[in-house]
Structure 1
Amino acid sequence: MKGRTVLLDHIAGREAAALMVDGKLHDLLIDPPEDAAPGVGAIFFAVADRPLKGQGGITLQLGDGLIGYLRRAKDISPGDAFFVQVSGMAEPGKAIPVTPDLIFKSRYAIVTPHKPGINVSRAIRDDDERDRLLEIAHDVMAGDYGLILRSAATGADAQAVADDIATMQDLAAQVLGHDEKDPALLWASESAHHLAWRDWVNPDEVVTEDGCFETHGALEAIDAALSPSQPLSGGGHAYVEATRALIAVDVNTGKDHSLAAGLKANLAVARDLPRLLRLKGLGGQITLDLAPMPKRDRKQIEDAVKKSFRQDGSDVVVAGWTPLGHLELTRKRDRLPLSQVWPKQ
């Protein structure tokens, strides 16, 4: 099965979407259980609660017993009320990370209420196309809102882009027009099917029949993603396992015993690591226990890791090498672990 195929199905009564690229599972979205914490993108009207001395942050009341955490809380005092947006997934028992910098994101447009100005994605390099999109934006935009036109807008119908911008502006005005004083959820995170429409653009095929996960091999691929052991190109494999403290990735060369086996396996995991972490829904502190290789090859591995995450569009910080030769990095927690959202069989 060649090309990009989007599968829209339901699992245990919840929306699920899978992106298959050349028959391989590339991304997976599943609506969380009803009792899960609000996902990334949810918007709250929050009330500042208690400063956390020594950390520079403050806890927030979000309503319905939910507690948020704002990392940089300079000039914010207990009792202050303002809008915040969920910026990451919280571990069980911990406060929900939030940011005061709201964004309203759709397929072609991102409206930024607190950051005025009209910008076009750097991925759009054609000057004529950039000028076309800027002209559309200037005709539609009103007020002091900012706008970022996403790379998906390239070649898109002018009316579709204009409608997308207008819809996000209207949503921003609706949310920011909230005039109640109590903390409350104002906008929930999007469903799996909507996120698939928003972010997986230009697919070769979209399949919506019930049971399409099974008929197109997604269920088998998900079962494989749930396993700690993940095959790598070239015959090696990696064990990707979540502990309470961090994500451990152990790289093995398999049956390859050549002098370059370690380097080849490590490059393979560097290329596939963004996909593996995305499918498993893992983030936070990540430690790579790489296959044996000369120290002179470390720079090549570090560059490969940075390149693969950059091409994937994921935010990652490569912290460096430990005395034991482990490579450490951090990745944003932007979804629940697959093991928590996938229904137990």
Structure 2
Amino acid sequence: MKGRTVALGEWRGREAAALMVDGRLDDLIVGSDAPPPGTIYRAAPERPMKGQGGLFLRTPEGRVFLRQTKGVSPRAPLLVQVTGYAEPGKAPPVTTRLSLKGRHVVLTPGAPGVNPSRAIRDPDRRAALAALAEGVAPEGVGVILRSACAEADDDAIAEELRALADALAQILADAGTEPAVLLEGDGPQALAWRDWTAPASVERGPDALELSGALDALEALADPSETLPGGARMTVEATRALVAVDVDTGTDTSPAAALKANLAMATAVPRALRLRGLGGQVVIDPAPSPKRDRKAIETALKAALRDDPVQTALLGWTALGLVELQRQRARPPLPV
């Protein structure tokens, strides 16, 4: 099936959104009991954790952890925002640098300036968008114009900017003292509308994933192994400490089998991690290949990560010949 389809439905009783591209599952978001990124709390500081260089805070939904504590009063309530999902048994990470994200714009209080997305290449369009944002944005608040602005209607962009500015003004004017939820983070279907902006057909309803073909692909994710082009295989497994990715050449016995397997892995691994909701420390054990091939593998991996919506840093190679990644925990782990 050619084209893009967004399925907005349920999976195992949880809200879910799936993106199918040419009949293949390309992205997936499943609801979680944890507070989603973007949630803003009025939080009460607890004891500082000097050994960890951070501070626990109390919210109505449990404790959260703030790592950057410079200038933070140990007594006054704080406005904090969830930045990602926590490792099992740990408190969600938060920041005091708030941002409000919409389909077209992102507001960044305390970081003024207007910044159109690099994906918007037309200089006239960039200039027009910057002028539009400067005319609407509140003083002292920065505006990031997302790539969806390239084709969007100016009135829709301005309307969203005003709505986000009003919401931000209410949050910043908060004068309460007790822990409270000031803004709920977006669930799977709201995230799909916000981030999957390319034209697509939409399936809605409890059985949307089945009708779109996403359900079979989702169930297949229970198998940690994935076949790569040329007969190679990649296995993705989450442990308590890290996510391990193992690559083997499979049925390919040609002289270039290892390089082909590793290049195929580089292309496939961002999607494999994204669909499973895996982040944090990722260690890749490539198929054995000479050091001269490392540059080609790095180049392919960087290109694939550049197109991935989840922020990931390629840290380099270890002495044992493993590849290390540090990946944002932007999605909840897929329930097994």
Q: Counterpart of 2:160? A: 164
Cα RMSD (Å): 1.5
Q: Counterpart of 1:252? A: 248
SS at match of 2:15: strand
Q: Counterpart of 1:234? A: 230
Q: Which moved more, 1:47-56 or 1:292-301?
A: 47-56
Q: From 143, 152, 157, give the equivalent of 1:147.
A: 143
SS at match of 2:115: strand
Q: Counterpart of 1:87? A: 83
TM-score, length basis structure 2:
0.95
Query: Amino acid of the residue matched to residue 23 of structure 1?
Result: G
Q: Counterpart of 1:197? A: 193
Q: Counterpart of 1:16? A: 16
Residue 284 of structure 1 and its aligned partner are, at CA, apart by: 0.9
TM-score, length basis structure 1:
0.93
Where in structure 2 are the equivalents of 1:97-176 lying within 5 Å? Answer: 97-176=93-172
Q: Distance in 1 between matches of 2:24 and 2:234?
A: 17
Aligned length: 336
Query: Amino acid of the residue matched to residue 191 of structure 1?
Result: G
Aligned 8 A contact 1:63 1:182 in 2: no
Aligned 8 A contact 1:63 1:184 in 2: yes
Aligned 8 A contact 2:102 2:194 in 1: yes
Aligned 8 A contact 1:118 1:137 in 2: yes
Query: Amino acid of the residue matched to residue 231 of structure 2?
Result: G
Q: Counterpart of 1:6? A: 6
Residue 60 of structure 1 and its aligned partner are, at CA, apart by: 1.4
Query: Amino acid of the residue matched to residue 142 of structure 2?
Result: G
Note the alpha carbon deviations across 1:208-254, whole angstroms, 9 max, x for none: 24422112211110011221111212221111001111111111111
| Identity of matched residues, % | 50
Q: Counterpart of 1:343? A: none
Note the alpha carbon deviations across 1:34-84, whole angstroms, 9 max, x for none: xx22111111112222222233211212234x1111112112232132211
Residue 128 of structure 1 and its aligned partner are, at CA, apart by: 0.8
Query: Amino acid of the residue matched to residue 280 of structure 1?
Result: R
Note the alpha carbon deviations across 1:150-176, whole angstroms, 9 max, x for none: 011102111111111111111111222
Q: Structure 1: where are the runs of 5+ without partners?
A: 341-345
Note the alpha carbon deviations across 1:157-199, whole angstroms, 9 max, x for none: 1111111111111111122222110122111111211111110
Aligned 8 A contact 1:44 1:85 in 2: yes
Q: Distance in 1 between matches of 2:121 and 2:197?
A: 18
Q: Structure 2: where are the runs of 5+ without partners?
A: none
Q: Counterpart of 1:312? A: 308
Query: Amino acid of the residue matched to residue 218 of structure 1?
Result: A
Is residue 2:57 matched to residue 1:60? yes
Query: Amino acid of the residue matched to residue 269 of structure 1?
Result: M
- Could you list the structure 1 runs, at least 4 aligned residues long, displaced by more than 6 angstroms after superposition: none
Aligned 8 A contact 1:226 1:339 in 2: no
Q: From 37, 51, 58, give the equivalent of 2:34.
A: 37
Note the alpha carbon deviations across 1:306-342, whole angstroms, 9 max, x for none: 22111223322222222221111111111211125xx
Aligned 8 A contact 2:244 2:284 in 1: yes
